[in-house]
Chains A and B, each alone.
Chain A
């Protein structure tokens, strides 16, 4: 009976892994194909079914003048915008979340939970509702088509995620730890950054991961708020498309764009799997 369950478990895991890995493998093999290998029926094994070529990858590095689409600059832009916006969101979100978790706010009928919900509600609205106001505001500020403008918009979009995750995290951190720090001689600010903050790193890492995923994959705002000067990766990838869909270079670009998230996920995984999320205070 025991072996039966073990077999079942491993079969399920294997099937699921194949399901997850297959698209990546398919994209990887397609990125080394040329027009003929893609359009003349399915081909699978390099050197047997088709002759591999690096053309799909070369297109990504060539300048438009040479008939390519340079994704290096959009790539760096995306890294800059995502990292900066995530950092600001985590910093502000953590402070806001700590205040919402530890202090009581009252304004009319509004209480802490309502304020937390207000933050989250920014993500409930369909993005298109925000697009026009953002466009007009950035236009008035002269920040359309700039990296700084994008960072500002992304902070607005990412901070609710950070606040949401961190409020939940701080609520699980017993208030006694703050009180103990006060008794041990800290003032409230020291209690926060000497004691509570170091214990909150796992929560901040998780919030950061979510911010990076949402920031990195956003296409909608990157598309609407930029024109010619600044381009982010998702927009650059879409602009690869032409009358004849270049599956090889699209596949290469897709793999390149997923890579940073995979790296981040591997780094963060240890925080997720160690069960450190609860704050490890008890």
Chain B
């Protein structure tokens, strides 16, 4: 029982990442009709916002310490971060410690900016082009973005730990008399994802802006005829989608050390999630994200694996095939979207 509950938690956690990425992808599909292969790269850029902030906070000046030697026998240069020099080691140290949560503030403007530039500078010119061209250009962009990151940060994973206060484990089952020990940060990640997803849905549901965007998703032409500047709103939506992917990336860094190709690792998976959820459906994308996350976790249980060896390698694809064959447009897809 404990084991199953733990795997549900793991699944929800994985699902949070899938859902956040798929949500942004669907927003772009739904509003702009663009197949964005660079969406994984946005997730990666978000993660590297956290890395960058960590680096900035760790910017140091060097003092030569004659008493110590470096590996070549020269006097050792001792590094002290400026932040610690300015605020004292205690406060400075804890600022550095909280780099990842702080990176949320750092990442939002950057991601919206990146999204804005991407949409205005490139994607805009591809609205009327065939999907094949969109795939080629966004795939090219994804490669360029990740190579640029690799050039500056290298190919190895970079450790970006959560703050010490959020680093331990918590017993989630204490209240119900069970022993379910779970990492604090993963709990934070799950609630963060729920918060963002809730925020996006209420934004679309309860604001005029959101209403126009939803109307535009349903029938772009008519909304345009009403004299509403739908293009500008779509640009903003692209920025928001980029920010969602970026924040998912920022918060993901303590779970897995980011590297330059993490976007590509998630790209295929997030496409599967979006399609399983159904094209053009935001609730579908979220539902599919959590569903696939939980099923993936169950598939990696030893009891399941001993029954079906290798099932954890292919479970997502098996589920995708079953769902697409039984439900022609995924879980909640709309008719006619991306069916040609």
Physical interaction between A and B: no
